[in-house]
Amino acid sequence: MFPLSKGGNHAAGNLVAACECCNQLKGAMLPHEFFAKYPWAGANFMRYARAVHRTLKRGARRAVSLAYAEAA
């Protein structure tokens, strides 16, 4: 959940598979920062993620909801 540049490691719980486009867009952002900036990516993550840590999924759901609420 933490980028390597921010002290994250290669442990299985810290890695999330992403397409090349999303991975490049995310860069060194934390997941909640990325999902807040790109709500469509958070929505895709929620749609396609199967086995993801509940905390990460909860953060994505919250960021997407806030982003859409602010846009309205």
Mean pLDDT, consecutive 10-residue stretches, the chain (72 aa), reads 79 73 85 85 74 69 80 72
In this prediction, residue 69 carries a pLDDT of 82
In this prediction, residue 59 carries a pLDDT of 75
Contacts 24+ apart (CB under 8 A), 21-29: 27/3, 28/3, 29/3
In this prediction, residue 51 carries a pLDDT of 59
Residue ranges making up the domain that contains 43: 4-71
In this prediction, residue 7 carries a pLDDT of 83
Closest CA to 16 of 67, 66, 53: 53
In this prediction, residue 21 carries a pLDDT of 82
Structurally, how many domains does the chain consist of?
A: 1
Residues 24 and 37: beta-carbon distance below 8 Å: no
53: left (phi over 0), alpha (psi -120 to 50) or beta: beta
15: left (phi over 0), alpha (psi -120 to 50) or beta: beta
In this prediction, residue 67 carries a pLDDT of 79
